[in-house]
């Protein structure tokens, strides 16, 4: 199954062109959720991947994909997570990642906050 995002340019509604000049979707392995950050031209996404055998999971990640460059500028692993939910500030200034994980007795939650407010900086959360 192909996993990815289709990004279109306006006003032509053509797929975004890659480095080779081909119009195609952006493949992101294991993508589960995404949000558009309008003030930084970023797509923030979560991804969960499995090993080749399909038995064990690799820690989920939060990724930052620069548009129109189609370049993943940062990935941050979130340990022991079952689900991740992205909540983006309406103007794209802040990002909250809500992490649900299981302990022996119940579900627990944690929240990680990212400051995306500096629109002139190319600094992104590091792994």
Confidence of residue 126 (pLDDT cuts 50, 70, 90): very low
Angstrom distance (rounded) from CA 35 to CA 38: 9
- Alpha-carbon distances, residue 49 vs 42, 58, 102, 114 (angstroms): 22, 6, 18, 23
Q: Rg for the chain (alpha carbons), in Å?
A: 16
Instruction: Give pTM, 2 decimals.
Output: 0.80
Q: What is the pLDDT of residues 83-106, one digit of tens each?
A: 899 999 988 889 999 999 888 889
Half-sphere exposure of residue 23: CA atoms within 13 angstroms, side-chain side: 8
Query: In the chain, what are the domains?
Result: 4-115 (2.130.10.10)
Is residue 77 over pLDDT 80?
yes
Q: Is the pLDDT of residue 124 over 60?
A: no
């Amino acid at each position: 199954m192909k996993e990815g995002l289709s990004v279109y340019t306006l006003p032509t509604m053509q797929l975004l062109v890659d480095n080779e000049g081909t119009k195609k979707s952006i493949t992101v392995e294991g993508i589960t959720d995404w949000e558009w950050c309008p003030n930084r031209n970023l797509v923030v996404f979560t991804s969960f991947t499995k090993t080749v055998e399909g038995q064990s999971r690799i820690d989920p990640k939060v990724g930052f994909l620069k548009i129109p460059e189609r370049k993943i500028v940062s990935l941050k692993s979130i340990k022991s997570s079952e689900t991740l939910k992205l909540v983006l500030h309406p103007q794209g200034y802040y990002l909250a990642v809500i992490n649900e994980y299981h302990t022996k007795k119940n579900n627990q939650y944690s929240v990680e906050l990212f400051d995306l407010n500096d629109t002139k900086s190319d600094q992104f959360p590091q792994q």
